[in-house]
Amino acid sequence: MVRAKPIKQGERYIRPEAPEIVWVIDRLVEIPGLPIHAKLVVEKRRHQTMTMSEVALRNKDLYLQVETPLEKGK
């Protein structure tokens, strides 16, 4: 089985049903006995936050990763 690369700070995600809201990984959270979690902030409203597991972020039915602004020029 091919393992996905780990999530990292700064990655950006959208929910398919609300693509206008971009969630950015602010920091990673390690919780003993659970998968890695990420504290996410809304890109344009950094006061809006949530914590989500890496498993949920990798589920393409729930979240889609989008390019970071620096990747667009590559």
Dihedral of alpha carbons 62, 67, 68, 69, sign: negative
- Tokens 């979240």 locate to 63
Question: Does the pLDDT value for residue 67 go beyond 80?
Answer: yes
DSSP string, 10-38: T-EEEETTEEEEEEEEEEEE--TTS--EE
The residue extents of the domains of the chain are 12-67
Task: Let me know the angle formed at the C-alpha of 1 by 32 and 68, rounded to the nearest 5 degrees.
Answer: 70
Q: Please indicate whether residue 69 or residue 11 has the higher confidence score (pLDDT).
A: 11
> Mean per-residue pLDDT for 31-50?
93
Give the model's confidence band at 46: pLDDT under 50 very low, under 70 low, under 90 confident, else very high: confident
CB atoms within 10 A of CB 13: 21
